[in-house]
């Protein structure tokens, strides 16, 4: 019994330690457990898989937005505080998209007139018009 408890403890510590280090999808491995210990391992693994899927989907959408793709939405099923984060990110993309598209058009027009690239005034203009929008919603 002590050996089983020791192995079980090591698995839980391993999953927790790797989770703290930011490694996603880590699973506890317990082959011969029964009853409440088996249920605990199943629930721990279910929690880590669910958390991994949520973080990966949110990261994917945030990366797309950072690269200018505001059409992406977080679609993973979430609850609680993660649902608030999902809704916030999805709503920001929805409200920023029209302004971003106008600025892109302005930038393309400016580039046609100015061969030195993106005018420095456009990022400031973008912040000027989008900050009140985002602040008023959150």
CB 52 within 8 A of CB 65: no
Whether 71 and 121 share a structural domain: no
Q: Are residues 61 and 7 in the same domain?
A: yes
Shared-domain flag, residues 72 and 5: yes
Question: In terms of domains, do 14 and 44 share one?
Answer: yes
Considering its fold, how many domains does the chain have in total? 2
The pTM for the full model equals 0.64
- How many Å is the Cα radius of gyration of the chain? 23
Do residues 37 and 64 share a domain?
yes
Domain that holds residue 24: 1-77
- Cβ-count burial 101-130 (b if 16+ within 10 Å, e if not): eebeeebeeeeeeeeeeeeeeeeeebeeeb
Q: What tens-digit pLDDT sequence spans the chain (138 residues)?
A: 777 778 778 888 888 888 888 888 888 887 777 788 888 888 888 988 988 999 999 999 988 888 878 888 999 999 999 999 999 999 888 888 777 777 777 766 665 555 455 555 556 666 666 666 556 655
Residues 11 and 69 both lie in one domain: yes
Q: Are residues 53 and 103 in the same domain?
A: no
């Amino acid at each position: 019994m002590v050996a089983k408890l020791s192995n079980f403890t090591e698995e839980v510590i391993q999953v927790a330690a790797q989770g703290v280090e930011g490694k996603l999808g880590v699973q506890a491995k317990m082959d011969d457990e029964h009853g409440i210990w088996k249920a605990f391992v199943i629930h721990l693994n279910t929690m880590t898989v669910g958390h991994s899927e949520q973080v990966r989907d949110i990261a994917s959408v945030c990366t797309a937005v950072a690269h200018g793709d505001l059409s992406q939405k977080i679609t993973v099923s979430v609850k609680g505080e993660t649902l608030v984060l999902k809704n916030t990110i999805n709503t920001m993309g929805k409200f920023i998209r029209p302004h971003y598209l106008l600025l892109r058009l302005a930038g393309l027009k400016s580039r046609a007139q100015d061969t030195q690239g993106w005018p420095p005034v456009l990022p400031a203009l973008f912040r000027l018009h989008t900050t009140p929008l985002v602040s008023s919603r959150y």
